[in-house]
Amino acid sequence: MLEKRLFLGVDNSATGRAWRDRLDERGAARALAIAQRHALPELLARIIAGRDVEADAVDTFLDPTIKRAMPDPHVLTAMKEAAVRIADAATRGETVAIFGDYDVDGATSAALLARFLRHCGIEPIIHIPDRLFEGYGPNVEAVRALAERGATLLVCVDCGTTSIAALAEAKTRGLDVVVIDHHQADEELPPALAIVNPNRRDDLSGLGHLAAAGLTFMAVVAVNRVLRERGFWQTDRPEPDLLAFLDDVALGTVADVVPLIGLNRAFVAKGLIALRRRERPGYVSLMDMARLAGPPEAWHLGFLLGPRINAGGRIGRADLGVRLLLENDPIEAAKIAAELDRLNRERQVIEQETLAQAEAEADAALGLEDKGAVVVTAAEGWHPGIVGLVAARLKEKFGRPAFAIALEPGGGGTGSGRSISGVDIGRAVRRAVAEGLLIKGGGHAMAAGVTLRKNALAEFRAFLEATLAADVEKARRASGLLIDGAISAAAADGSLLAMIARAAPFGSGNPEPIIALPAHTVTYAEEVGQAHMRVRLKAGDGAAVNAIAFRAVGQKLGIALRNSRGRQVHAAGCFALDRWQGEERVQFKLTDIAPAEPFTGQ
């Protein structure tokens, strides 16, 4: 692998990072070829090349379509059996139970499948487990209850791959089971008619990057094809427009932070188009309650819509999110959206209080020398529904995998972990389960959930340090702020935003481009809102751009901005359209700065 060069010579920025050109020599050559062959601006060519897109694949990247990106659903192991069984249930009018996870991916997967079954004339039973009392995935008691309500087919979405006891109970009760999941699988699979999971060991589809919502969409496509072949669709029961279901897929895909590459990219791009039509009352109410200005973009799904859907599963009623997505009455949808918004505000307060405690614990554990491969924080009194969010914040702040665990008075606990690129915590957690350190646990490379046995915290922490130290050291050594290109403030206009947007949607696996503003003077830097910094940057030719540094007050970036007032800095961040009181303007979202000239400051 070729060394990535320092960008603008920055080897130690305000946040302690080296700035590196996202493109090595091969990448720069690829960008040049892309610019010449496709007549694209140099910056856009650099952005595309920095996402490992070859010159031959540029058209597909810039115009992702479902038709071009999606393979035959039957490439997934057991998909044919799953599709036939669900189609049989639709044909016979059976009672179908849908068991979904309590997060956004689970909610959107359950809603999508339920919408399709309703179109087939079936009103499914939907069960979303209570995070506190039932935990993740199918459980024996819930399966029994679904069987007693007359279900003959149980479809588990975004869960079920490791639920051996619960699915054995389903078999005993006479329920056929179909699992549609993407979580990492053990060697032993539970008893089920079909387990559709691209991460099971005998699946060769190469679709392991899909969220459960994407897999559920593929299952619906497969079922729809079986029903079409059987002549199920008639004049009085027309075949559904499956592309209209992509709003659910887009939200689940972005919220589950799976990479926006290949088929996922097409799912989100086309799902955003479906959302912009504002045809579903649930989504309209959700967007209005989130005060979403303008057409929805991918980041809105992750930061505005997703957290509100999640709030029900975290600290309220687990099924509120699914109910909202399926609600057709605008008045009722508005009521549910308002309740989810209230719960989300409550969640934010709880999260802030818990995060302050967790950060203090992590600071003390890492010490002044910043030693340790993994951050593991735990305390009694933490709400189990928000530990995943706390772990994500800790990961961002400390630049290493992080776990936050809500301890019970007896000494056990439940928690969540979030990882950095290149470090697979899902595999480590499964090993910890196998070695008896955890009661249960699972997930994927970037996120995992754990249930800790009594008084095992210190042992689990030591296990993670020993297991992940080498991978974390390698990942942190290779980390730095990757810069896509540089411009001056004079170029920061609407045409720049339109050009960058051609490479959207951005998210995990297709990061929002980081652009540098070289040698710009900080003419203004003051605190605004909740710990943000409002900044103005001025180029040598007099052109200026407004910037904002989110959650920077009291952090390294915020301190450096205050000390840099009146001085020249190299600034790095992302460009976005700021909508405020009916006006639109270009805004620079600051990520980092570095002095453009030596200076001393307090």
pLDDT tens digits for range 182-204: 998 988 999 999 999 999 999 99
- What are the structural domains, with CATH classification, of the chain? 19-50+484-595 (2.40.50.460), 68-277 (3.90.1640.30), 367-478 (3.10.310.30)
Q: How confident is the model at residue 428 (pLDDT cuts 50, 70, 90)?
A: very high
- Edge to edge, what strands does the sheet with 176-180 contain? 125-127, 96-100, 153-157, 176-180, 194-196
Q: What pLDDT is recorded for position 131? A: 84
498-513: b or e for each residue (b if 16 or more CB lie within 10 Å)?
eebeebbbbbbbbbbb
∠ Cα 286 290 293 (to 5°): 110
Report the chain's mean pLDDT, rounded to a whole number: 93
Spacing of C-alpha 417 from chain mean position: 14
- Tokens 């998909």 found at: 79
132 by Cβ neighbours in 10 Å (0-12 / 13-18 / 19+) ranks as: middle
Encoding tokens for residue 417? 């972990």
What is the Cβ-side half-sphere exposure of residue 534, based on CA atoms within 13 angstroms?
A: 7
**226, 24 Cβ separation under 8 angstroms:** no
Q: Above 80 in pLDDT, residue 3?
A: no
Q: Above 80 in pLDDT, residue 582?
A: no
Q: How confident is the model at residue 598 (pLDDT cuts 50, 70, 90)?
A: low
Encoding tokens for residue 332? 């009722």
pTM of the predicted structure, to 2 decimals: 0.91
> Among positive and negative, which fits the CA dihedral 383, 388, 394, 400?
positive
Work out the average pLDDT over 467-475.
92
Quote the CA–CA distance of 156 and 503 in Å, as a whole number: 35
Quote the CA–CA distance of 482 and 420 in Å, as a whole number: 15
Quote the CA–CA distance of 161 and 179 in Å, as a whole number: 7
Q: What pLDDT, in 10s, does the model give residues 28-86?
A: 999 999 999 999 999 999 999 999 999 999 999 999 999 999 999 999 999 999 999 99
Work out the average pLDDT over 412-441.
92
Quote the CA–CA distance of 561 and 594 in Å, as a whole number: 10
Q: How confident is the model at residue 578 (pLDDT cuts 50, 70, 90)?
A: confident
Residues 6+ apart with CB under 8 A from 596: 518, 519, 520, 567, 568, 569, 570
Report the interhelical angle of 42-49 vs 25-38 (nearest 10°).
130
Quote the CA–CA distance of 281 and 326 in Å, as a whole number: 9
Least confident range of 17-26, 307-316, 477-486, 593-602: 593-602
Q: Above 50 in pLDDT, residue 500?
A: yes
Q: What pLDDT, in 10s, does the model give residues 24-38?
A: 999 999 999 999 999
Work out the average pLDDT over 164-188.
95
Q: How confident is the model at residue 16 (pLDDT cuts 50, 70, 90)?
A: confident
Q: How confident is the model at residue 314 (pLDDT cuts 50, 70, 90)?
A: confident
Q: What pLDDT is recorded for position 218? A: 98
**217, 267 Cβ separation under 8 angstroms:** yes
The helix or strand, by DSSP H or E, that contains position 275, with its residue range, turns out to be helix 262-276
Q: What pLDDT is recorded for position 99? A: 98
Encoding tokens for residue 437? 């350190």
Quote the CA–CA distance of 45 and 43 in Å, as a whole number: 5
Instruction: Name the E strands within 35-95.
Output: none
Mode of pairing for the β-strands spanning 485-486 and 515-528: parallel
Q: What pLDDT, in 10s, does the model give residues 318-337?
A: 999 999 999 999 999 999 99
Q: How confident is the model at residue 601 (pLDDT cuts 50, 70, 90)?
A: very low
3-state helix, strand, coil in the chain (%, to 5): 45, 20, 35
Q: Report the 3 state secondary structure along 331-367.
A: HHHHHHHHHHHHHHHHHHHHHHHHHHHHHHHHHHHHC
Q: Above 80 in pLDDT, residue 234?
A: yes
Report helix, strand or coil for 427.
helix
Q: Report the 3 state secondary structure along 558-569.
A: HHHHHHCECCEE
Q: Above 90 in pLDDT, residue 294?
A: no
Q: Above 70 in pLDDT, residue 600?
A: no
Work out the average pLDDT over 108-137.
94
Work out the average pLDDT over 535-556.
95
